[in-house]
Amino acid sequence: MLQFAKILWASPNTLMGMAAGILGLLTGGRCQIRSGCIEFHGGLVTWVLKRTPLAGGALAMTLGHCIIGQSESGLAIARAHERIHVQQYERWGPFFLPAYLGASAWLWWLGRDCYRENPFEIEAYAKADPAAPIVLDDETDACE
């Protein structure tokens, strides 16, 4: 029952992920279900992720219980990190995206790295691979 409540709480974001994933499927992408999440990769999903504001694009991105990735191998690399974001969506529900984007905007306004210093990313990196520190590169701004 608790898991159903978490899924329902995150569902507005999951619906956005499903829409993106379906567009990916219609343009040659694929999908799979892993540990209660629907993962999409390829097609339009790849095109969009390569053009995110992050340097080099995003390997993957989570929207509720949907994880979209550039490729199946990229999803495998990012899966542990993205699963932490799924847990964050389960906690924050429809407030996750405004909180995430608000934190990034605030960091950008302060002249800081709006991706790597975002508290949601710090948590995801710390829990997914605690041995790997987040390295801030002073020469690049992840949001430009």
Residue 143 has pLDDT above 60, yes or no: no
Residue 54 is predicted with a pLDDT of 78
Q: Which residue has the higher pLDDT, 137 or 84?
A: 84
Helix, strand or coil for residue 7? helix
Per-residue pLDDT tens digits for 34-90:
988 999 999 999 999 999 887 778 999 999 999 999 999 999 999 999 999 999 999
Q: Which residue has the higher pLDDT, 133 or 140?
A: 133
Greatest alpha-carbon span in the chain: 48
Residue 131 CB neighbours (<10 A): 4
Q: What is the C-alpha separation between 139 and 30, in angstroms, rounded?
A: 36
**From 76-80, 126-130, 131-135, the region with the lowest mean pLDDT:** 131-135
